[in-house]
Amino acid sequence: MWNKGIWRAARALALSCVCALCVSCGIYSFSGTSIQPDVKTVTINYFEYKALRVNPTLSNDITEALMDQFRRLTKLEQVDQEGDIEITGEIIGYDVKAMGITADEVASQNRLTVNVKIYFTNRKYPEDDFEKSFSAYADYDSMQSLDAVESSLCEEIIDKLVEDIFNATVANW
């Protein structure tokens, strides 16, 4: 009969073996990515700005945030061209709309929405290629001007977009 200490050690060893097996096969990692082991590089192209309303820093901010996400959560080497996987994006919408309307027919809130279109190419596994649009928004009080809150709203929106894009491209969510 095994005592409790040996039983715990055996369970811990079995759990360790299962975890090592999952990580070593390269298909799953604890960061949530599911990148094939032979995919080693990523190219993230500068997001082209095609929206009618202009935000001069948004293209750069989204591109840099996505690059940073890949640096933090994957082991992929970032290359300027011809990566095993490649992400190209364009900002196709940057709009403000009135949301909550009061009894006096005045907007109580406004919503800033950013729309991007992504082209994902996997040179090792072309069946994974896709083209998809993503959208994120943040609301703000209509008593505030967009200029006063724009940078904080954009940070929030960029965080949402980058998470969604990352999950769609390498987390298979």
SS3 call for 161: helix
User: Residue 23's pLDDT is what?
Assistant: 46
pLDDT above 70 covers what percent of the chain?
77
The structure's pTM equals 0.79
Q: What is the pLDDT of residues 3-45, one digit of tens each?
A: 655 656 556 555 555 544 444 444 444 445 678 999 999 999 9
Q: What is the pLDDT of residues 111-132, one digit of tens each?
A: 999 999 999 999 999 999 999 9
Q: Please state the rounded mean pLDDT for residues 146-173.
A: 93
User: Residue 99's pLDDT is what?
Assistant: 85
Q: Which CATH homologous superfamily contains domain 38-171? A: Lipoprotein like domain (3.30.160.150)
SS3 call for 88: strand
Q: Which stretch of 5-14, 43-52, 85-94 has the lowest confidence by average pLDDT? A: 5-14
58 Cβ contact list (under 8 Å, min separation 6): 47, 49, 91, 94, 114, 154, 158
**Annotated domain spans of the chain:** 1-30, 38-171
